């Protein structure tokens, strides 16, 4: 089977990108197989007649793409032979969340009831001791095998019945709640913050422990400010970005002052 690596380059690109593309071609072609070590910085400088700065920039680029990892005292090791998907979510409103789940599937790995302790109660904006349905799983783009996120979803106890509807990976959980209980989500509050990914999550997400990540918390509200669902997703920083657009509605006939 032939693999065609993505092209980083156009004519006139910096030398570090030329080197990065060459090394990427070698990785994808199998010259440097999975778990093998790349040549040292000194060896790459000699092979490609470039400076150590150029080599380091090329290595950084391949690391950002998820192809390699650097291990002090060991070397630079190949950790993937294909570039992992990077998902960019753009949002103009609640409707764009439907697009997100059309593009991304959630594979549920488990579910069960949980009782909110002090920390969870703060996240869920509820009283300590309150029961919630907890659903956990991994999110993937299309048919990719490397996940873009680990997700925990907490559903208010009154809507626990949607556990029977969790088989469809392409339908968002809040939409299942709407359909089964005749409700309408009217507001989604979202918070994004930078985090470091711990060892257990790093293993699930195929990244190095301590690497940069983004935690996205979404809270779904029905009329009367009733919280139906809280979703917490942990994304490797190299595989996810988020953009949104805010529009200013001008008053006085559209004339601003």
Q: Cα separation of 213 and 205, whole Å?
A: 10
The domain limits of the chain are 15-78, 87-244
Name the more confident of 138 and 168: 138
Q: What is the pLDDT of residue 246?
A: 53
- Percent of the chain exceeding pLDDT 70 equals 80
Q: Give the whole-angstrom CA distance, residue 19 versus residue 135.
A: 44
- How many CB atoms are located within 10 Å of the residue 108 CB? 16
Q: Calculate the alpha carbon distances from 170 to 145, 183, 239 in Å.
A: 16, 19, 20
Indicate the pLDDT class of residue 172, thresholds 50, 70 and 90. confident
Structure tokens given for 229:
């669902």
Closest listed residue to residue 71, CA positions, set 38, 24, 29: 38
CATH T-level assignment (fold) for domain 15-78: Arc Repressor Mutant, subunit A (1.10.10)
Q: What DSSP designation does 86 have?
A: -
Other Cβ atoms within 10 Å of 70 Cβ, number: 14
Arithmetic mean of pLDDT, 37-55: 91
Q: Give the pLDDT confidence of 71-125 residue by residue, as tens digits.
A: 888 899 998 887 665 544 445 554 555 445 456 788 999 999 999 999 999 999 8
Distances 31 to 35, 36, 146 between C-alpha atoms, Å: 12, 9, 22
Query: Distance (Å, rounded) from C-alpha 210 to C-alpha 216?
Result: 18
Closest CA to 156 of 172, 179, 138, 173: 173
Q: Which residues pair with 29 in a beta bridge?
A: none
**Each residue of 235-246: pLDDT tens digit?**
998 777 666 555
For residue 25, pLDDT over 90 is answered with: no
Closest CA relative to residue 229, chosen from 182, 172, 191 = 172
Predicted local distance difference test score (pLDDT) of residue 55: 92
CA distances from 37 to 27, 102, 243 (A): 10, 38, 36
Instruction: Tell me which architecture the domain covering 87-244 has in CATH.
Output: 3-Layer(aba) Sandwich (3.40)
Question: Per-residue pLDDT tens for 183-198?
Answer: 888 888 888 899 999 9
Residue 66: what pLDDT?
A: 80
């Amino acid at each position: 089977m032939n693999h065609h690596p993505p092209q980083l380059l156009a004519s006139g690109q910096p030398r570090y990108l030329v080197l990065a593309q060459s090394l990427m071609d070698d990785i994808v072609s199998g010259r440097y197989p999975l778990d093998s070590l790349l040549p040292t910085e000194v060896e790459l400088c000699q092979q490609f007649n470039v400076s150590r700065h150029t080599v380091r920039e090329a290595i950084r680029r391949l690391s950002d793409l998820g192809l390699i990892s650097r291990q002090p005292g060991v070397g630079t090791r190949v950790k993937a032979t294909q570039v992992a998907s990077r998902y960019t979510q753009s949002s103009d409103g609640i409707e764009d969340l439907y697009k997100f789940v059309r593009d991304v599937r959630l594979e549920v790995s488990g579910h069960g009831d949980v009782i909110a302790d002090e920390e969870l109660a703060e996240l869920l904006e509820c009283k300590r001791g309150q029961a919630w349905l907890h659903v956990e799983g991994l999110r993937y783009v299309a048919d990719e095998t490397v996940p873009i996120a680990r997700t925990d979803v907490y559903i208010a106890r009154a809507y626990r019945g949607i556990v029977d509807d969790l088989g469809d990976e392409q339908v968002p959980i809040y939409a299942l709640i709407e359909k089964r209980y005749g409700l309408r989500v009217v507001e989604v509050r979202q918070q994004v913050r930078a985090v470091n990914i711990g060892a257990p999550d790093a293993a699930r997400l195929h990244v190095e422990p301590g690497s940069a990540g983004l935690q996205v918390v979404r809270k779904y509200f029905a009329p009367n400010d009733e919280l139906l669902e809280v979703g917490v997703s942990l994304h490797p920083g190299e595989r996810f970005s988020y953009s949104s657009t805010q529009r200013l509605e001008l008053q006085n006939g559209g004339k601003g002052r």
